[in-house]
Amino acid sequence: MSTTFTLDTATSRAHPVPEPVRRLTVPAIQARKKGGVTADPVVMLTAYTARMAQLLDPHCDMLLVGDSLGQVIYGLDTTVRVTLDLMIAHGAAVVRGSYRSVVVVDLPFGTYEASPEQAFETAARVLRETGAAAVKMEGGEVLAPTIDFLVKRGIPVVGHVGLTPQAVNALGGYGARGRSGAEAAKIEGDARAVAAAGAFALVVEGVVEPVARAITAAVACPTIGIGASPDCDGQVLVVDDMLGMFERVPRFVRRFDTLADRISAAAATYAQAVRDRSFPAEAELYLPKPPKG
């Protein structure tokens, strides 16, 4: 059931205009795919802060609080070192900054693999402390019983197959998956198992296009591609990659801006204004001007 509410603008400059808001729901996302076809593709981006969530929210159906924050925000070399506390802190911020999108939080490495019970404890804490609608878990057929366990206990799950960054040490790198027949069959089997276990959506990352197309045709839930195929039922990108915040990005990323260059240019202009002593005083900026005459 959707919930309609009104934003409270009394204490936050981030929400200047009160308006009724209806957040999308997990069943609404799942229902996008009818008879194997998704006429309205699912739009998804990562978000890690309240302000970014606020900017992305009107344009997205889902916001993913990805463990990619370890690399994007904290400069870690892999997502393996991301902690549950970090995910919860950023997840809560994104929920506070969004009012339309379904917010999904990654479960970090080592917090769900041991048993369905461990996964339930972790996921329940994430939903309770963040207010998010769902969690995302990396892994294939081996995790199907865990996904089934969570879904039957009221925790919506997004699956993730193909290139799974939390398993980078086992995979040996971030190269595209599914090039061999055996690997393609394994990934397709993983996708079927995860979908059959009850995942309401499925991220398909870093696989060759024929495999992504086969998965999309095979599963009933929407597939969300990242470095997969435009024929997936939706797409997701790391927002910083999409905005052009980094010089190096995966080959499949399409930049929609060069924000890093514009930030650097703005900082240079600011620095020069300070050095030239042409930076206006606060009073000159904000105090009302005296009446003429």
pLDDT of residue 70: 95
pLDDT tens digits for 87-139? 999 999 999 999 999 999 999 999 999 999 999 999 999 999 999 999 999 99
Retrieve residue 24's tokens. 């999308």
Residue 196 pLDDT level (bands cut at 50, 70, 90): very high
pLDDT of residue 1: 41
Pairing of strands 33-34, 37-38: antiparallel
Calpha distance 3→22 (Å, rounded): 6
End-to-end C-alpha distance for the chain, whole angstroms: 61
Question: What number is the average pLDDT over the span 39-67?
Answer: 96
Calpha distance 7→214 (Å, rounded): 43
Calpha distance 266→271 (Å, rounded): 9
Q: Is 282 a catalytic site residue?
A: no
Out of 55-64, 78-87, 89-98, 160-169, least confident range: 160-169
Lookup result for tokens 């009446």: 291
- E strand intervals along the chain: 4-6, 20-22, 33-34, 37-38, 42-46, 62-65, 102-106, 134-136, 157-162, 201-205, 223-226, 234-237
pLDDT of residue 44: 98
205, 211, 214, 215 alpha-carbon torsion, rounded to 10° = -30
For residue 46, pLDDT over 80 is answered with yes
Name which of 29, 57, 61, 26 is nearest 43 in CA terms. Answer: 61
pLDDT of residue 2: 46
The catalytic residue among 19, 117, 121, 205 is 205
Calpha distance 284→15 (Å, rounded): 26
